[in-house]
Amino acid sequence: MGKIDLMDMLKIWGCESSLKIIKERYKLDLTFDNLNYDERETSILQVLKALDSDLVHAGAHRVNDWELGWGKNLENFKATNKEEASWPGYFEKSKIIRWKQSWIKPNDSRLEQKLLAVLVDSLLLKFANNIDSIYEFGCGTGHHLFRIRSLFPKKKLIGLDWAKSSQELILSYANSRSDDNLFGLNFDFFNPDLNLEIDKSSLFLTVASLEQTYEEFTRFVDFILDVKPRIVLNIEPMEEFLNPDNLMDFLSLKYFSKRKYLKKYFLYLTDLERQGKIVIHDARRSYLGSFFIDGYSVVVWSPRNDV
Q: Which ranges in 81-217 belong to alpha helices (H)?
A: 111-127, 143-148, 164-176
> Can you give the pLDDT at residue 39?
97
307 has a pLDDT exceeding 90:
no
CA distances from 279 to 139, 242, 269, 274, 286 (A): 24, 22, 9, 9, 20
Greater confidence (91 vs 253) lies with 253
> Can you give the pLDDT at residue 66?
86
305 has a pLDDT exceeding 90:
no
How does residue 62 score in pLDDT terms, banded at 50, 70 and 90?
A: confident
How does residue 263 score in pLDDT terms, banded at 50, 70 and 90?
A: very high
User: What structural domains and CATH numbers belong to the chain?
Assistant: 2-303 (3.40.50.150)
Amino acid identity for residue 54 in this structure: D
> Can you give the pLDDT at residue 278?
98
> Can you give the pLDDT at residue 236?
98
Contact 205, 135 (CB under 8 A): yes
Mean pLDDT (the chain, rounded): 95
Please give the biggest Cα pair distance in the chain. 57
CA nearest 235: which of 209, 212, 213? 209
**CA 232/CA 222 separation, integer angstroms:** 13
What pLDDT, in 10s, does the model give residues 87-146? 988 877 789 999 999 999 999 999 999 999 999 999 999 999 999 999 999 999 999 999
10 Å CB burial of residue 290 (0-12, 13-18, 19+) is: buried
> Can you give the pLDDT at residue 89?
81
What pLDDT, in 10s, does the model give residues 145-190? 999 999 999 999 999 999 999 999 999 999 999 999 999 999 999 9
How does residue 306 score in pLDDT terms, banded at 50, 70 and 90?
A: confident
Helix (H, G, I), strand (E, B) or coil at 302: strand
